[in-house]
Structure 1
Amino acid sequence: MEELTFGTLIAVLEEMFGQALFWVMVAAAALITVAFVYVVIRDRSLRSRWFLRAELVAPVGAFAAIWFVFFITRSGFGDIGGPIDVIALILIGLAGAIGLTFLAYTVQALLGGG
């Protein structure tokens, strides 16, 4: 593979997770993002109390994302081979943390949790 294109990246991710699971994850991420943007536009700002509570679950999201990828790929920390694997692991954790933060904030806002 001489160059990485968007189509190649999608094909690799579909191969890793399976086509159905990959597209379900994409749809879930899109739905959570749209709901988050809706809540921010509706409220015209971020509420600091809700955001702080949402940030507290970020480490859980990071851990869950890393565990999920290790489970799906049947690998573990012993399989990390070099710097690019560490970078990928950090990005996976970051995506999980951000995703769960968005979800937690959105759930609080939609349920009206004071």
Structure 2
Amino acid sequence: MKDLTFETLLAVFEEIFGFGLFWAMVVAAALGTAAFVFVLIRDRNLVSRRLVRAELLAPIGAFAAIWFVQAMTSSGFRDIGGPIDVIVLIGIGAAGAVGLTIFAYVAQALIGGPQRG
């Protein structure tokens, strides 16, 4: 593989997760992003109380994302071979932490309604 193209990345992710699961995750991410933008526009700013509560779930999201990818790839921590594997693992954890934080923030905002005053 000489060039890393968008099509190559799509093929790799579809191979890892399967066609249906991969595209379901893409749709879920797009819907989550749209819901977050909706909440930001509706409230006109971030509400610190919601954000702090949502951030408490970040470690759970990080561990869940790492576990999910390890389970989908049938690999384990014994298979980590070098620095790039550790960097990818940290990136997966960070993505899971951010994803669950945004999900928790949006859930609080949609359940609790708009922030007043």
Aligned to 2:24: 24
TM-score (norm 2): 0.94
CA deviations 1:44-97 (Å, max 9, x no partner) are 000000000000100100000000001111111111011111111011101100
Runs (4+) off by over 2 Å:
none
Letter in 2 for 1:85: D
Letter in 2 for 1:58: A
* Identity across matched positions, percent: 68
TM-score (norm 1): 0.97
Measure the CA separation in 2 of the matches of 1:27 and 1:90: 24
Measure the CA separation in 2 of the matches of 1:10 and 1:81: 24
SS in 1 for 2:87: helix
SS in 1 for 2:99: helix
1:6-85 correspondence to structure 2 within 5 Å: 6-85=6-85
Measure the CA separation in 1 of the matches of 2:33 and 2:97: 14
1:66-105 correspondence to structure 2 within 5 Å: 66-105=66-105
Letter in 1 for 2:102: F
Structure 2 residues without counterparts, runs of 5 or longer: none
- The total of aligned residue pairs comes to 114
Measure the CA separation in 1 of the matches of 2:105 and 2:95: 15
Letter in 2 for 1:83: P
Structure 1 residues without counterparts, runs of 5 or longer: none
